[in-house]
Amino acid sequence: MRKYLYNIIGLFLLGIFAISCDSAQQDVSPIVSPDDNPVATFISDFSGSTITEGDTITYSISLDKPHTTSLTFSVKVTGGTADESDIEVISGTIPAFHTETEVQIIISADNFPEESETIDLEIGLFSFAEMYVLNPSVVNPTPSFTIANYNAPNSLTISFGWEDDNDDYDVYIVDEGINNVFSQGATSSNPEALSLGNSAPDDTYYVEVDPYYLENPSTTLTFSIGHPDQTVEFFTATFDSSLLDEYEEGGIGYRIFKIVKSGSTYTCSSLL
């Protein structure tokens, strides 16, 4: 009789355990809707479509409610003829339980005479851990700008380049008479940078090249000229190393370019 009673009790307890397990399997965790996530608002201090080298764009970012972790907003380049090297980004972080920050986009001023470029950007959260923190209704700003060249207003700026980086040219700006050197580029960079300040005497000047190392006897040279009035000129010419036999007496190198200066006005011409 006792054994029979134990069996009944065992079956009763097993039934309770089975019912309990079945009930636990049917319990579902509450669904957390992303619609409850913070909504971000982006406000830019720039509304145009063309920005000049050296300018800065600021995006003020605010949340309609704080979040429990910090969020870092940044910028990525998505297209255009410019790239990451043409901008400097200062990211903005909203600390946990705060709601505001700002992101700055600084357009690099390289004092390199060039044509206008374009750039396409996106501002948002880009780390994997943060990509889905915001409300699904939030749309990242995707501005597109034309970047206008900026020339130094107090000098003529010259970028002098060549085809093959294995070659190396030293380049100088000298005056016509006694070959005083007013500027030189001898850094092994391609292109080399030169400038002639408005404070230099009115005179005729020459750009002279002195090849430091050549693998190519002939090459195409490129001049990008930035004038103080913000205009830009471009010249190309073919240079042949056989010209090295024709150095001007007393010169540093072979004269390839002529500059006539009058105040802040420069008249430029290729000699090749």
What CATH number is associated with residue 177?
2.60.120
Q: Are residues 264 and 175 in the same domain?
A: yes
Is 15 inside a domain boundary? no
Residues of the chain with pLDDT under 70: 1-32, 243-252
**If DSSP states are collapsed to H, E and C, what string results for the chain?**
CHHHHHHHHHHHHHHHHHHHHHHHHHCCCCCCCHHHCCCEEEEECCCCCEEECCCEEEEEEEECCCCCCCEEEEEEEEECCCCHHHEEEECEEECCCCCEEEEEEEECCCCCCCCCEEEEEEEECCCCCCCCCCCCCCCCCCCEEEEECCCCCCEEEEEEEECCCCCEEEEEEEECCCCCEEEEECCCCCCEEEEEECCCCCCEEEEEEEEEECCCCEEEEEEEEECCCCCEEEEEEEEEHHHHHHCCCCCCCEEEEEEEEECCEEEEEECC
Number of domains in the chain: 2
Q: Are residues 243 and 177 in the same domain?
A: yes
What pLDDT, on the 0 to 100 scale, is given for residue 120?
98
Is 6 inside a domain boundary? no
Residue ending a domain, among 129, 148, 167, is 148
Is 225 inside a domain boundary? yes
What pLDDT, on the 0 to 100 scale, is given for residue 176?
86
What CATH number is associated with residue 80?
2.60.40.1510
Is 86 inside a domain boundary? yes
Residue ending a domain, among 148, 177, 195, is 148
What pLDDT, on the 0 to 100 scale, is given for residue 239?
86
What pLDDT, on the 0 to 100 scale, is given for residue 55?
96
Count of C-beta atoms within a 10 Å radius of residue 51: 18
Q: Are residues 170 and 129 in the same domain?
A: no
Q: Are residues 128 and 222 in the same domain?
A: no
- Which residues form the domain of 208? 155-270
Q: Are residues 58 and 127 in the same domain?
A: yes
What pLDDT, on the 0 to 100 scale, is given for residue 11?
47
